[in-house]
Structure 1
């Protein structure tokens, strides 16, 4: 009964840390379907969805495709240097517009001023995928990072700028949710310790979770 009662009330936006905000249900169902259709096209080869291998020989459990600049541990390139070697797919201008609108809504218009988004990292999580605590520190810009969620619900762990350990806050991110972090939280450690399989909206037609992360390279 408690869960039913909780769902009677809309989830509220929240400031998780200075410069870090969670905005539930930011993407409506139509916008989610449109973004999912775009992700499916981007995931096709060449320069499509790949398994990321770390310098130590391990692999990330979330698979990834990049737009604009290709990220590999721990640098950027214009080609898929750790995959099929083809040029990275272009970053569409409408995605940059979406990123600036997200920042303005979450943190205020001043935080979005001059942010020329030119990188998208799209991670696909199946039910067993995880993402360890890390910082988004390979860019030369301190513009806020925009994170959009589609599909399955996950636990998003948002920490501090000094260590992968506590203090951190666990946030439930559902499909359609927005999370933005910039300012004093721009280099905070964060990760995904758990995905809840089968929690995606049935009408979306997605099994698993997609996370679309937008960044400004500063290159």
Structure 2
């Protein structure tokens, strides 16, 4: 059961343990989705390779290559549409968004990140969506340090521990805050082993 909402910033909330009860089934579904749309480490427009492995489900998936960042309806690796988003996932994201004060959130895409020890996500703003709807982020597995800044890259960072089952929602005044994940520390989690999964639900159109 989720604990009392923890306000991170204006428009940003952490729901500690909100997804814990759903973890086993959702992780099994991640593995099923990855059989259809395998995890891959994408290339950035500058030619680097991301340390985080990614796949997607829903109407559109996010991709990065020499052409830039964008959402596409077809998985470039398989040539097939992305796997459908499970209805239970969609329901969890809607419920979490509502608990944070965002009624009417209707996600059409879920980005699934797989972190191994040493993997990180650099500071960035989520600006590739055409919608300013909130982002709902779900963590499973190894603990991570969520870096939360401001609307300028140079703003001070806060380091916030995220644990298995935690959900973060940000929108409104915090929709374009710079954020990232510090390099993942090695460890073993009872459910995911030496891995962290992060699911981010978005409205892309």
Q: TM-score, normalised by structure 1?
A: 0.85
1:24-67 CA-to-partner distances (Å, cap 9, x unmatched) read 11123x4111111111111113x221111111211110100111
Structure 1 partner of 2:202: 215
Superposed CA RMSD: 1.8
CA displacement at 1:14 relative to structure 2: 2.0
Deviation per residue, 1:156-207 (Å, 9 max, x gap): 00111122x332221100111111101010111110013232152x2x2432
| Cα separation, 2, equivalents of 1:63 and 1:98 | 23
- Is 2:6 aligned against 1:14? yes
Decide whether the 8 Å contact of 1:153 with 1:197 is kept in 2: no
1:115-151: CA deviation from partner (whole Å, max 9, x where unpaired):
2111000000001100001111111111110000000
Match of 1:155 among 142, 145, 160: 145
The alignment status of 1:185 with 2:174, answered yes or no, reads yes
Does residue 37 (structure 1) correspond to residue 28 (structure 2)? The answer is: yes
Q: Give the ranges of 4+ consecutive aligned residues of structure 1 lying more than 3 Å apart after TM superposition.
A: 10-13
Consecutive unaligned residues of structure 2, counting only runs of 5 or more, are none
Distance 1:189 1:176 in 2: 22
**Does 1:93 pair with 2:87?**
yes
- Mapped pair 1:174 → 2:171: no
Instruction: Report which of the two has the higher share of helix.
Output: 1
Task: Tell me which of 86, 93, 116 is aligned to 1:126.
Answer: 116
C-alpha distance in 2 between matches for 1:196 and 1:22: 21
CA distance in 2, matches of 1:152, 1:133: 20
- Could you tell me which runs of 5 or more consecutive residues in structure 1 were left unpaired when the two chains were aligned: 1-9
Structure 1's 217 and 205: CA in aligned 2 closer, same or farther, altered over 3 A? closer
What is the TM-score of this pair, normalised by structure 2? 0.90
1:50 corresponds to: 40
Q: Is the 8 A contact 1:153 1:199 kept in 2?
A: no
Whichever of the two has the greater Rg, that structure is 1
